[in-house]
Amino acid sequence: MQLHISPSLRHVTVFPGKGVREFIKVRVGARRVSYRMLFYSLLFFTFLLRFVFVLSTVDSIDGETKCSTLGCLGERLGPRILGRRLDSAVPEVMFQVLEQPLGNDELKGRSDIPQTLEEFMDEVKNTRLDAKTFAVKLREMVTLLEQRTRNAKIQEYLYRHVASSSIPKQLHCLALRLASEHSTNAAARLQLPLPELVPALVDNTYFHFVLASDNVLAAAVVANSLVQNALRPQKFVLHIITDRKTYSPMQAWFSLHPLAPAIIEVKALHHFDWFAKGKVPVMEAMEKDQRVRSQFRGGSSAIVANNTEKPHVIAAKLQTLSPKYNSVMNHIRIHLPELFPSLNKVVFLDDDIVVQSDLSPLWDIDMDGKVNGAVETCRGEDKFVMSKKLKSYLNFSHPLISENFKPNECAWAYGMNIFDLEAWRKTNISTTYHHWVEENLKSDLSLWQLGTLPPGLIAFHGHVHVIDPFWHMLGLGYQENTSLADAETAGVIHFNGRAKPWLDIAFPQLRPLWAKYINFSDKFIKGCHIRPS
């Protein structure tokens, strides 16, 4: 073959090697392609072909488990010019054995199954196993380890359920000592607030906060953190609602530990005229709910004994047995307009939160006619905590739910909420709440399983004003991924979840954020052996 380039560089002619007059003639625009460009192009493609050849040769030498970059590309794309498709090196018989199901009973009483990877490797080295026997041994060992891992997880969930459901002896001690103090010490029976401060309880120029709790220590932390971080504590009014049994200890604590100039009111539910007049829907619903749960769930032993469900499902069912989900303190927030008929706006606080910033700016937020100011829980950097949508709480396989709501709508958080009571009174939110609670009871808890948030999501649907996430950081009671530095930057942190900061199962790196608002030298705290960690 001969290559002829004209002196003007306008034609490139390729002659066959035998002198035949058949040729390939290419007309080249002198202004577009130079001789030097053409030469370098041919040189480049020659080098590329040699490079591909070398890579393919290296692939063959290295074996079937390795391939070069271009070789792998060819393997993915299919053509064999750059690479080739490799068959799996694992014998088909191993796949067949590993894919066969293995029943739990088949492993009972077996002592020949390797307990560790080291034992398995020793057996493989010392015994010449064929592929099928190797796969059988591997399947048995992995299945056994999976069963043990599942049982360990379930036991952990059960222990956490017991720990989170019981009252620590330190808290029980504190309540008893304060009740005794209430009966013997007149200073522990002071009227809260003092008579001259009573008008402030219905004065809408003050910042009103509501806390419902039957936990004296938790309520003390919320109150201390709220007042200590307030820029104008003299304008803060904290209304503490508790039950009949906790009223005396709660009154004794705040009588002996005043937070002046802030104003503290302590009332039991039976002190509210509205609550004592007659039937209260939430109380009736709670009684029915307890009866349904006792029949529907069968107790923690029945839940744990289920061998077919995954550990996280069992954990969720155990959580439904938690007393807090049947506590009147958890449900009473739906009656705030009736409990405080003279107030226009309140901020509701759960007893497992810690305030870290002045909360008076919450009153400057324009609610745009909405009832509930809350932080959304489907947007944020922490996907584990801030990924909750309606489908996370409601059962969309039930027609009552799927016909009325959209699964991917964003959920919002209970725990620190701004409630415009004036706007609330113009709606049917409370009625809607009770209607759906009744529907859930009628359906054997098939619309949702846990607590007050699901019916709250339904009742306040369309009445929520989204506020900045700074005001409410969630998840400190069920995950430890939140760093101490991040938690310290939030206005309010919420220990929602089982690992409450007053329990031994609290995450140790997060508990100091709560414990810093307790005076551990106090005689009641010290006498009940309540310690920082």
Residues 470 and 417 in one domain: yes
Instruction: Find how far residue 47's CA is from the centre of its chain.
Output: 57
The pLDDT value given to residue 337 = 95
* Per-residue pLDDT at 62: 45
Residue 529's Cβ-side half-sphere holds a number of Cα atoms within 13 Å equal to 5
Which phi and psi angles does 465 have, rounded to 5°?
Answer: -105, 125
Does any domain span residue 399?
A: yes
Instruction: Please indicate, yes or no, whether residues 312 and 235 belong to a single structural domain of this protein.
Output: yes
Is 436 among the domain residues?
Answer: yes
Q: What is the rounded distance in angstroms from the CA atom of residue 433 to the CA atom of residue 372?
A: 14
- pLDDT of the residue at 37: 67
Q: pLDDT tens for residues 360-419?
A: 999 999 999 999 999 999 987 777 788 899 999 999 999 999 999 999 999 999 999 999
Q: Which two tokens stand for residue 29?
A: 């625009």
What angle in degrees, to the nearest 10, is found between the helix axes of 216-228 and 244-256? 40
Q: Is residue 60 part of a domain?
A: no
What is the DSSP secondary structure assignment for residue 389, as one 8-state letter? B
Alpha carbon distance 282, 334 (integer Å): 8
Looking at 129, 147, 163, the residue that finishes a domain is 163
Strands 464-466 and 372-374: parallel
Residues 137 and 197 in one domain: no
132-160 in b/e burial notation, b at 16+ Cβ within 10 A? eebbbbbbbbebbeeeeeeeeebeebbeb
Which whole-number Å values give the CA distances from 226 to 171, 232, 290, in the listed order? 21, 11, 34
pLDDT tier at 180, thresholds 50, 70, 90: very high
Tens digits of residue pLDDT in 328-357 = 777 889 999 999 999 999 999 999 999 999
CATH of the domain at 480: 3.90.550.10
Q: Which two tokens stand for residue 509?
A: 């790196």
Instruction: Summarize the chain as % helix, strand, coil (round to 5).
Output: 50, 10, 40
Q: Looking at the structure, do residues 391 and 440 belong to the same domain, yes or no?
A: yes
Q: How many residues does the chain have?
A: 533
pLDDT number for residue 82: 42
pLDDT of residue 49: 63
Q: Judge whether residue 12 has pLDDT over 60.
A: no
279 and 265 inside one domain: yes
132 lies in which domain range? Answer: 107-163
pLDDT mean over 509-526: 96
pLDDT tens digits for range 193-223: 999 999 999 999 999 999 999 999 999 999 9
Neighbours of 292 (CB within 10 A): 16
Q: What is the rounded distance in angstroms from the CA atom of residue 149 to the CA atom of residue 268?
A: 46
Q: How confident is the model at residue 529 (pLDDT cuts 50, 70, 90)?
A: very high
Per-residue pLDDT of 58-109, as tens digits, reads: 444 444 444 545 445 444 444 444 444 445 566 777 777 777 777 666 777 6
| Confidence band for 117, pLDDT divided at 50, 70 and 90 | confident
Contact 462/493 with Cβ under 8 angstroms?
A: no
Indicate if the pLDDT at residue 483 is higher than 80.
yes
Question: Rounded to an integer, what distance in angstroms lies between the CA atom of residue 237 and that of residue 363?
Answer: 13
Mark whether 229 and 143 lie in a shared domain: no
Among the candidates 128, 163, 198, a domain finishes at 163
Residue 30 placed within a domain: no
Between 321 and 439, the more confident residue is 439
Q: What is the Cα Rg of the chain in Å?
A: 36
Residue 428 to residue 408: CA distance in whole angstroms: 24
Quick check: is 439 in a domain?
yes
Q: What's the pLDDT band for 232 if we cut at 50, 70, 90?
A: very high
The overall longest dimension of the chain from CA atoms, in Å, is: 126
Residue 9 burial (CB < 10 Å; 0-12/13-18/19+)? middle
Task: Determine what percent of the chain is predicted with pLDDT higher than 90.
Answer: 48
DSSP 179-190: HHHHHH-GGGG-
Same-domain status, 251 and 389? yes
Q: Is 354 helix (H, G, I), strand (E, B) or coil?
A: strand
At residue 112's C-alpha, the angle toward residues 110 and 115, to 5°, is 95
Other beta carbons within 10 angstroms of residue 187's beta carbon come to 10
User: Cβ neighbours of residue 533 under 8 Å, at least 6 residues apart?
Assistant: 508, 511, 512, 515
pLDDT in tens, 292-318: 565 545 566 666 677 767 776 677 667
CA separation for the pair 474, 380 (Å, rounded): 11
DSSP states along 22-71: --EEEE--TTT--HHHHHHHHHHHHHHHHHHHHHHHHHHHH-TT---HHH
Q: Does some domain include residue 260?
A: yes
Comparing 45 with 455, which gets the higher pLDDT? 455
* Banded model confidence at residue 485, pLDDT cuts 50, 70, 90: very high
> Model-level pTM?
0.74
Q: Looking at per-residue confidence, does 88 or 430 come out higher?
A: 430
**Banded model confidence at residue 322, pLDDT cuts 50, 70, 90:** low
Residues 119-155 pLDDT 10s? 878 777 777 777 788 888 888 888 888 878 878 887 7
Select the more confidently predicted residue: 253 or 9. 253
- Domain assignment present for residue 512? The answer is yes
Tokens representing residue 128 in the block:
């010449």
Mark whether 172 and 255 lie in a shared domain.
yes
Instruction: For residues 79 and 172, give the distance between their C-alpha atoms in angstroms, rounded to a whole number.
Output: 75
On whether both 185 and 201 belong to a single domain, the answer is yes
> What total of structural domains would you count in the chain?
2
- Whether 445 has a pLDDT exceeding 70, the answer reads yes
User: Is residue 59 included in any domain, yes or no?
Assistant: no
Looking at the fold, whether 277 and 253 belong to one and the same domain comes out as: yes
Residues 126 and 181 in one domain: no
pLDDT at residue 428 in the model: 95
Pair 205, 342: CB distance under 8 Å: no
Based on the fold, state whether residues 193 and 281 are members of the same structural domain.
yes
Q: Between residues 279 and 233, which one has the greater pLDDT?
A: 233
Q: In the prediction, which pLDDT does 187 show?
A: 95
Pairwise CA distance, residues 123 & 117, whole Å: 10
